Amino acid sequence: MSATDSPAPAGVLAWDLPTRIAKWLLAMLVGLAFASNYFGDVGLVWHQWNGLAILVVLVFRLLWGFVGGSTARFAGFLYGPRTAVSYVTSLLRGRPQHFLGHSPLGGWGTVALLALVAAQALTGLFSTDDIIVYGPMTPVASDETISAASAWHQRIYVVLLALIGLHVLVSLAYSLFGRDNLIRAMISGRKPGGTFADVAPATPGSVARALACLVAAVAAVFGGIALAGGDPFP
């Protein structure tokens, strides 16, 4: 991508409200999923509801990545190898390029984190402890599938913790020592004016599209499990 620097007025929009709500809601649900796994009820019912809610948010974010605001769209922050190399080079030289939305590395890191959370939630649908905990899809899955999913659900957990920790550390470091306070921007949705390598200011997505994506996400998760013969209500 050949990015043309564009000046931005003070206090420009970086991320729209649905994008920010989805991010913080997903962070909260992942934290609650970890807590409910250790401190929840015996049958892990709340843990399973957590997983279903996570899937709804993930499907919403996937849909919003195509029809949402400009900085929320995958096409707007998933850059090719040339742009990624150029960005890394600018970092090494101490003159990093500034992006209104995700940087080339931040964009791919975000997708990797979303994919790992999705893998954890999907394997949870087929997981069981063979005693009292049965995932929503275990009634229609083969023993081999259930065994593999249960094992991967445990393995991904460790990798997910590490990636979340890295994500938090990078965000804190960039907020404290970089040009932009990413945490504040993801709360307020705005960044200070400046010159960005991507288009500024961002264009927000419509409320109607956000609601449509939410309804579609709920239908896809619960309806998909029901149509596949599973139990969408733990």
Mind giving me the DSSP string for 28-58? Answer: HHHHHHHHHHHHS-TT-HHHHHHHHHHHHHH
How do the domains of the chain map onto residue ranges? 27-129+141-227
- pLDDT for res 8: 42
State the sign of the Cα–Cα–Cα–Cα dihedral 196, 187, 18, 24.
Answer: positive
How far apart are alpha carbons 203 and 16 in whole angstroms? 8
Residue 117 has pLDDT above 50, yes or no: yes
Residue 101 has pLDDT above 60, yes or no: yes
Burial class (CB in 10 A: 0-12, 13-18, 19+), 143: exposed
Three-class secondary structure of residue 14 per DSSP: coil
How far apart are alpha carbons 69 and 76 in whole angstroms? 9
Q: Which DSSP letter does residue 22 get?
A: H
- pLDDT for res 5: 46
Q: Which tokens in the block code for residue 175?
A: 């907020």
- pLDDT for res 220: 98
94 residue type, one letter: G
Residue 51 has pLDDT above 80, yes or no: yes
Q: What number is the average pLDDT over the span 91-103?
A: 81
Residue 10 has pLDDT above 80, yes or no: no
- pLDDT for res 46: 94
pLDDT tens string 179-198: 677 888 889 888 887 777 77
How far apart are alpha carbons 50 and 166 in whole angstroms? 23
Residue 9 has pLDDT above 50, yes or no: no
Question: In degrees rounded to 5, what are phi and psi of residue 191?
Answer: -125, 155
Q: What number is the average pLDDT over the span 53-78?
A: 95
Residue 131 has pLDDT above 90, yes or no: no
pTM over 0.95: no
What percentage of the chain reaches a pLDDT higher than 70? 94
pLDDT tens string 165-181: 988 888 888 777 766 77
67 residue type, one letter: V
Spatial contact of 220 and 62, defined as CB atoms under 8 Å apart: no
Mean per-residue pLDDT over the chain, rounded: 88
Question: In degrees rounded to 5, what are phi and psi of residue 12?
Answer: -90, 155
Which pairs from 125-130 meet CB under 8 Å and 24+ separation?
125/51, 125/149, 125/225, 125/230, 126/150, 127/153
